[in-house]
A and B are shown apart, each in its own frame.
Chain A
């Protein structure tokens, strides 16, 4: 079991470009959560997805940010027209059934740097 896989590990973008972050959950997991971590800060919830459905996007900015988890392939977090304030580590986590008392397993994260 390879665990939660995220790529790329590091992503550098110039202001105004698009960033695409990918996450493949653990085998057998169909629930994916995206979190953002700023330096010296905790993890902030962004969005929770199940296959082909967004369950909760209350933590994701309304503009420029979108997420999907298609029937086939990884979950994608997309940031359009990036700004310097988007620089952060973005972590994906997965769980088997999305129950409130289930363990979450995290990927290694994508460090996004906006120049």
Chain B
């Protein structure tokens, strides 16, 4: 079946540093790539998404890049803050599965003050 790989599984950075999380996907027809942030015991919240017709999107301290040739996309968080600490999930559309999302296994980001 289709798959999304996410790395690293854990990431620890100092406050103010940048954090980068990378994902690869297998469904070459995927056209939508969202990123979700999940705090402990809470719902996954959409923080940024990108569609296949663009290569980069930025929203304040968060940016996402997409390389369709390599089937690779990344989340970049600059000037990290302690409140950025959470688990981050990437996802890609499963075009063979009527459009549901396939999620990576998550990256636990810890931002140390």
Residues of A within 8 A of B (CB): 4, 33, 35, 40-45, 48, 55-56, 58-59, 91, 98-109
Please measure, in the bound complex, the distance between the C-alpha atom of A105 and the C-alpha atom of B78, giving whole angstroms: 25
In the assembled complex, B69 has its CB within 8 A of some CB on chain A: no
Given contacts A43-B44, A43-B103, list 11 more A-B pairs with CB under 8 A: A33-B101, A56-B97, A59-B97, A91-B43, A101-B93, A102-B32, A103-B34, A103-B46, A106-B44, A106-B45, A108-B42
Please measure, in the bound complex, the distance between the C-alpha atom of A92 and the C-alpha atom of B95, giving whole angstroms: 20
In the assembled complex, B105 has its CB within 8 A of some CB on chain A: yes
CB distance from B57 to the nearest CB of A (A): 13
Contact with A along B42-63 (1 / 0, CB 8 A): 1111100101100000000000
Known A106-B43, A106-B45, A108-B43; judge A42-B103 contact (CB<8 A).
yes
User: Once the chains bind, are B43 and A107 in contact (CB under 8 Å)?
Assistant: yes
CB distance from B62 to the nearest CB of A (A): 16
User: Once the chains bind, are B89 and A42 in contact (CB under 8 Å)?
Assistant: yes
CB distance from A112 to the nearest CB of B (A): 14
CB distance from A45 to the nearest CB of B (A): 5
Across the interface, A45 reaches (CB within 8 A) one of B6, B94, B106, namely B94
CB distance from A15 to the nearest CB of B (A): 25
CB distance from A110 to the nearest CB of B (A): 11
Ordered nearest first, which 3 A-B pairs have the shortest CB separation?
Answer: A101-B32, A100-B99, A56-B98
Contact residues in A for B106 (Cβ distance below 8 Å): 40-42
Please measure, in the bound complex, the distance between the C-alpha atom of A6 and the C-alpha atom of B105, giving whole angstroms: 23
Please measure, in the bound complex, the distance between the C-alpha atom of A108 and the C-alpha atom of B41, giving whole angstroms: 8
User: Once the chains bind, are B44 and A33 in contact (CB under 8 Å)?
Assistant: no
Contact residues in A for B93 (Cβ distance below 8 Å): 100-101
Contact residues in A for B97 (Cβ distance below 8 Å): 45, 48, 56, 58-59
Known A42-B89, A45-B94, A91-B43; judge A104-B103 contact (CB<8 A).
no
User: Once the chains bind, are B32 and A100 in contact (CB under 8 Å)?
Assistant: yes
CB distance from B99 to the nearest CB of A (A): 4
